[in-house]
Structures are given as C-alpha cells and as structure tokens.
Amino acid sequence: MDILKNRINENKISHNTCVVHLRVGDILDLDYFAATFNKIQDKYYNNNPNDNDEWNFDEPNYYYYLYSKSYYVDKIEKLKKLGINKIIIIAGSHVDCGNYKYSTFYINKIKRLFENNGFTVELRLGSHPDSDIMLVYNSNYFIGSKGGYSKILEEIVLENDNTVL
C-alpha cells in the first residue's frame, strides 16, 4: 500500500468511472476447461441468483469463475444510482493460451451489456498486472470477478476507502 500511495498520480481516472475485472484467459481458453461458446452462453443467461457456486475439484470448472448476466445487471442498476457512466474493463491472462476466442467472446458479452445500458466502455486488455493494480487503486468503484487476483484488487480498493460493488 505504501508503494501505491507513493505512485498515486499514475493512472488517474475520473470519479464517474468504475473498473471491472474479468477472469478470462486460462479458465476459458485452455483445453483443460473444455469451454465452448454454447457453455459460456448458458452460464451468461443462467439467472440463478446463486452465482457463488463452489469449485468442484473432481472436474475442470470454468463456470466457477464466470458471473451471469443477472449479476452484472444488478451492478449496472447500482452504478446508475451512483451516477457512473464509464466502465473500464480489465482482463488478461497469466499463461499463454494461444487463441483467446472464448475470452474474447465473454469479454464482448459483458462489454455489450454495459454499452446497451448507456455506459461508455473502454477495454484495457493484457496490461501488466502492476499497471492494473495502480488503475484499480485510483478507482472509486470496482467490480471484481472470482479468483485470487481479483480478491487482491478488491482488498486494494477497500484499503483505499473506495467502493467494491
């Protein structure tokens, strides 16, 4: 936190902006997880309010890492009430997956959902993780995904007395 505080002027963003982290890359594009466009669509349109399904260690489960459309619709309503009108989506992969077709598909689903609800959306994909950490540190609002990196980002936002939605 001291390092972040000393570099606070880097990656400044406006008060009416929310940073959204999406977990993609390995959990969607490695063969181990056996993702398909249809499976991702099914998860996206699964409006089961229980988006906190636990990891099943008996089989690869990318579903654990993806939130459905209803999760983001709830966040969109909260953002509108706060007067937020811009979204910065951050995502990347810590391993080389070769082809990122499923990640691209999912990112675009979320991007279009925000755009269709009146938000301006900026994609910031494949940036250095430290740069994304600095961006999130400077954000007033943050929506995370599942996974350890996103939890670290949430802790940084909260430590800086900002809002995790």
Give the domain ranges of the chain: 2-164
The one-character DSSP state at 59 is: S
Q: CA-to-CA distance for 102 and 62, rounded, in angstroms? A: 11
Q: Is the pLDDT of residue 84 over 90?
A: yes
Alpha helix segments (H runs only) across the chain: 2-6, 26-29, 37-45, 69-82, 101-116, 129-137, 148-159
- In this structure, the chain runs to a length of 165
Enumerate residues 6+ apart whose C-beta is below 8 A from 61: 33, 55
**Whether 144 contacts 164, CB under 8 Å:** yes
Enumerate residues 6+ apart whose C-beta is below 8 A from 43: 63, 66, 68
Q: Helix (H, G, I), strand (E, B), or coil: what is residue 136? A: helix
**88 falls in which pLDDT band (50, 70, 90)?**
very high
Q: Helix (H, G, I), strand (E, B), or coil: what is residue 90? A: strand
Q: Is the pLDDT of residue 123 over 90?
A: yes
Number of H helices, E strands in the chain: 7, 5
Q: Helix (H, G, I), strand (E, B), or coil: what is residue 38? A: helix
The pLDDT value recorded for residue 160 is 87
* Residue 112 vs residue 54, higher pLDDT: 112
Whole-number average pLDDT of the chain: 84
The pLDDT value recorded for residue 134 is 87
* Residue 18 vs residue 130, higher pLDDT: 18
The pLDDT value recorded for residue 151 is 94
Q: CA-to-CA distance for 19 and 122, rounded, in angstroms? A: 10
Q: Is the pLDDT of residue 130 over 90?
A: no
* Residue 134 vs residue 108, higher pLDDT: 108
* Residue 77 vs residue 52, higher pLDDT: 77
What mean pLDDT is predicted for residues 58-79? 83
**pLDDT tens, 47-67?**
665 555 555 555 556 667 888
Q: CA-to-CA distance for 4 and 1, rounded, in angstroms? A: 5
The pLDDT value recorded for residue 11 is 57
CATH architecture assigned to 2-164: 3-Layer(aba) Sandwich (3.40)
